[in-house]
Amino acid sequence: MSLIVEKYGGTSVGSIERINAVAEKVSKSHHQGNQMVVVVSAMSGETNRLLDMAKEINPGMPARETDVLVSTGEQVTIALLCMALMRIGHKAKSYTGGQVRIETDGSYGRARIRSIDDSRIKKDLDKGKIIVVAGFQGVDNKGNITTLGRGGSDTSAVALAAALKADECRIYTDVDGVYTADPRIVPEARRMDMVTFEEMLELSSQGAKVLQIRSVEFAGKYKVPLRVLSSFEDGPGTLISYEVDRKMERAVIAGIAHNADEAKLTITGVPDHPGIAHAILGSIAEKMINVDMIIQNIAADETTDFTFTVPRTDYENALAILNKVSVELGARGVTGDNNIAKISVVGVGMRSHTGVADLMFATLAEEGINIKMISTSEIKVSVVIDDKYTELAVRALHKAFKLGEKK
């Protein structure tokens, strides 16, 4: 008998009809002889409905009370899904995060899971019950309700799978797996049967928003076998694998990711001496602005140009900070661009193959697309381009790397 953790997001449980459909899916897995733990989000729209009331009553949105408020969303879903399961003849029991008990730190709105008590759930599983757990939520060591932040239900599912030593953790979403590129841009994009953990990590962080990057990291830490599937249609989905011995036929490149949510800033002619990077980025980090790509080049005149990217929503803030820093450092000036896109080719095969970066650059050059920044890691090459070329670049690269062809 296998133990399976399944997670259904907000759109998957967005109506009574959808909840009944989820119950049927869970029932099927249970009838196949599996012990089932189901993690659910709030019905789609519910969290925003609650947050809108909170904003109206107190725009300051006090953190502790916001968590008390929004955690009711998942609590509604667990009760309704249990009722649906019982109606079709199953024994089912709901657990809030606190009832499990999923203990977190005390950071309201973005709590991190510290420990999970699996004893009560295991006892109920052994009695043949289907367990339905509220995702996204926990309690701190004083019993205060906490939430894990947006997408936290994925993390709840993976963490429960790790604690229960589940045989598989299935994340049901509105797409049927991980694709070689965004199918809305590239019609011939192909669903991958399997993707490595490292590839998934890069694809997630590069903007392929199938899974929250935090849940992928969590899965990697505990080697939880993770599968992404559609809750709307049947299919095998995409398995995220930790295998080292890969099939020889494995493609060099797994997929293309794109992200148009960033902006780039450059401070030019900075007198080059130790501590410059910290002087520049320290003031950005202080304001809690995340920095993604960082590039530094030394010019002939012993000054340096320093470029980095930030979330586009933080562009104006970062620009203001940088202008101040520029004066302090005696730099030449500051330039910025918030019409950029980052395009990445990702694949573990890259480690042993040369020429990936070269093919990428050649392809973009052929299309007349100028590259503004380049950054590489062991399993990806990222470039920053003008964002109006996003679709063109993704399509051309998908074709050049032959990702649409059946492997």
What residues make contact with a second copy under the rule CB under 8 A?
16, 19-20, 50, 53-54, 56-58, 60-62, 64-66, 68-69, 71-72, 75-76, 78-80, 82-84, 86-87, 92-94, 96, 98-99, 143-145
Query: For residue 174, which of 164, 165, 184, 188 has the smallest C-alpha distance?
Result: 184
Q: How far is the CB of 245 from a second copy (least distance, A)?
A: 46
Q: Shortest distance, CB of residue 125 to a second copy, whole angstroms?
A: 17
Q: Which residues are within 8 A (CB) of 225 and not within 5 positions of it... i.e. 6 or more apart?
A: 167, 168, 169, 239, 240, 241, 242
What single-letter DSSP state applies at residue 312? G
The residue (of 43 and 321) whose beta carbon lies closer to a second copy is: 43
Q: What minimum distance in Å lies between the beta carbon of 88 and a second copy?
A: 9
Residue 60 beta carbon to a second copy: minimum distance, rounded to whole angstroms: 7
List, in order, residues 6 or more apart from 162 with CB less than 8 Å away. 116, 218, 219, 221, 222, 224
- Crossing angle between the packed helical segments 213-222 and 197-205, to the nearest 10 degrees: 160
Residue whose CB is less far from a second copy, 80 or 228: 80
Q: How far is CA 374 from CA 132, 272, 297, 380, in A?
A: 45, 21, 12, 11
Q: Counting runs of H as helices and runs of E as strands, what totals does the chain give?
A: 12, 20
> 111 or 341, CB closer to a second copy?
111
Beta bridge partners of 382: 344, 375
Smallest separation (angstroms) from a second copy to the CB of 152: 18
Question: Tokens at residue 61, please?
Answer: 């949105």
Nearer CB in complex with a second copy: 120/191:
120
By beta-carbon proximity to a second copy, the closer residue of 53 and 299 is 53
Nearest distance from C-beta of residue 12 to a second copy, angstroms: 15
Q: How far is the CB of 172 from a second copy (least distance, A)?
A: 19
- The Cα 111–Cα 114 span in angstroms is 9
Q: Are 240 and 226 in contact (CB under 8 A)?
A: yes
Residue nearer to a second copy on the CB measure, 86 or 289: 86
Minimum Å distance from CB 150 to a second copy? 18
| Tokens 């470029």 found at | 307
Q: Which is nearer to a second copy, 33 or 89 (CB)?
A: 89
Question: Judged by CB, which is closer to a second copy: 93, or 395?
Answer: 93
Proportion of the chain in helix, strand, coil states, percent, rounded to 5:
40, 25, 35
